Amino acid sequence: MYYNSIIEAIGNTPLVKLNNLSKGIKGTVLVKVEYFNPGNSMKDRMALKMIEDAEAAGILKPGGTIIEGTSGNTGMGLALVAIAKGYKCVFTLADKQSQEKIDILRAMGAEVIVCPTNVSPDDPRSYYSIAQKLNKETPNSFYPNQYDNLSNAKAHYETTGPEIWEQTEGKITHYAAGVGTGGSMCGTAKYLKEQNPDVVTVGIDTYGSVFKKYKETGQFDENEVYPYLTEGIGEDILPKNVDFSLIDHFVKVTDKDGAITTRKLARHEGLFIGWSCGSAVHGALEYARENLKEDDVMVIILPDHGTRYLGKIYNDNWMKDHGFIESRDFATANDIILHKNGADKLFTVDQDAKVGEVVKMLNKQGIDQVPITNGNQFVGSVSTSKLLEKLIEQPDITEKKIQEIMDQPIPFVGLDNTLDVLSSMINRDNKAVLVRDEALEVHIITQHDILLAMTN
């Protein structure tokens, strides 16, 4: 058996179980390794679909030119299709993309135009605008527009979703993927939810992107938009391929956490993958630690290969220059917990406890904040300063339930989060973080704990 061209090798990528990074998590965590596609990324799937649909509609004719704005991987997929079908390619990229991506596209015969990152999407210098302008000026050209071309999501609805369903024998309970154009997240999610509406979908976003807040509030907040380094996920626009009704939850991941997890996947799982893959795994595992049960099966998409990032994520000097490099003597949440050695027991208060009872407990234990629980769930928190404020306003609230005046829950962090990440999460409104150890026991890390770790 042989393929008539390279594009026939697209799809049917393997599922691989995580064995080391998922320790302590209930259930099974699998990753779909999309670098087995011939262009080394999942973008091959939708590149082929967009071109085939354009041909069927008569939009793209023989000898035409494909013009697209890309972060690199879509360009590679389109280049493969163009070679197989006899088209020319012109791609626009933002200047934050790795040099490897630019070099690979040029090696595949494409013309590459590099555009500034730190401009708005409608700025005439943006890679969106330049691609659209070239499309208007070039006869017999096609602008796939992966962001709004619904063939993108359809490709994953027709291929990625069915593959995952078959490979897990219909046992998948959770699906997680980075959200950029939205195609792989939403096309796959649509198929999986049609097979089983109870499948939970988790979208991975990055800081500097609008997705998470838009999902939770329905507001496009321009204050959420700022430059970030992670390639391939997050957006400062709302692509038509992002169907928020198909995404149950969003988790945001920092550039640094994504970068470090990317390297850990190579070192501890043998998966030499790209930056957004690390972001997807970091965010998905963060969600899994709190939500997966023994019989659950989570599948995480790993979009591309590590060769795209040799000059960045896999370059120690680049990682050091950006403050991402792991340092063996730089304490993590796990180091702090081990150092405390159970010295501070985590006290919690049931949401039905009376305010007066909580005040007595805080005084007795000599602590100034406590998580509020409902069974095994952490549903809120309260501090002595908040209690004092409320008692001054309403001296008669001592018989009210604590849930009536509690604040938001104290956030959870991963065991491997370093001191700089922990300290950035603690501020005037949030004076502590929670973490589960490998035995799933919950610990609290306070400002005092971080100060001790920094000075020891």
What pLDDT does 341 receive? Answer: 62
Residue 448's pLDDT is 80
- Looking at 101, 117, 142, the residue that finishes a domain is 142
Q: Is the predicted pLDDT of residue 367 greater than 90, yes or no?
A: no
Domain count, the chain: 3
Sheet holding 15-17, edge to edge: 15-17, 28-33, 297-302, 174-178, 200-206, 249-253
Residues 303 and 166 in one domain: yes
Are 89 and 112 in a shared domain? yes
Q: With beta carbons less than 8 A apart as the criterion, state whether 100 and 307 touch.
A: yes
When computed from its CA atoms, the radius of gyration of the chain, rounded to whole angstroms, is: 24
- What integer pLDDT is reported at residue 9 of this predicted model? 96
- Same domain assignment for residues 356 and 395: yes
CA distance 67 to 89: 6
Q: Are residues 168 and 290 in the same domain?
A: yes
For the ranges 27-36, 127-136, 224-233, which has the lowest average pLDDT? 224-233
Q: Is the pLDDT of residue 99 over 90?
A: no
Whether residues 367 and 282 fall in one domain: no
In a domain, 148, yes or no: no
The whole-number average pLDDT for the span 60-82 is 92
Domain boundary among 95, 117, 142: 142
Q: E strands within 19-142?
A: 28-33, 65-69, 88-94, 111-115, 141-142
- Using the 3D structure, point to which of 262, 293, 321 is the last residue of a domain: 321
Note down the domain range covering 280. 9-36+157-321
Stretch among 103-117, 277-291, 420-434 having the lowest mean pLDDT? 420-434
Within-domain flag for 152:
no
Please tell me the predicted confidence (pLDDT) of residue 329: 47
Q: Does residue 443 belong to any structural domain of this protein? A: yes
Burial 127-154 (b: 16+ CB within 10 A, else e): bbbbbbebbeeeeebbbbbbbebbbbbb
* pLDDT at residue 330 in the model: 53
Q: Is residue 150 part of a domain?
A: no
Is residue 121 very low, low, confident or very high in pLDDT (cuts 50, 70, 90)?
confident
In a domain, 75, yes or no: yes
Q: Model's pTM, two decimal places?
A: 0.72
Asked whether residue 225 falls in the same domain as residue 349, the answer is no
- Gap between the Cα atoms of 256 and 322, Å rounded: 9
CA dihedral 168, 171, 176, 181 (to 10 degrees): 70
More confident residue, 157 or 389: 157
Task: Choose the weakest-confidence range: 93-102, 151-160, 211-220, 345-354.
Answer: 93-102
Same domain for 406 and 425? yes
281 in the same domain as 192? yes
Residues 17 and 166 in one domain: yes
Q: What pLDDT is attached to residue 425? A: 77
User: Could you list the active site residues?
Assistant: 43
Q: Residue 57 belongs to a domain with what CATH number? A: 3.40.50.1100
Let me know whether 389 and 415 are in one domain. Answer: yes
Q: What is the pLDDT of residue 419?
A: 75
Residue 3 resides in a domain:
no
- Please check whether residue 151 lies inside any domain of the structure: no
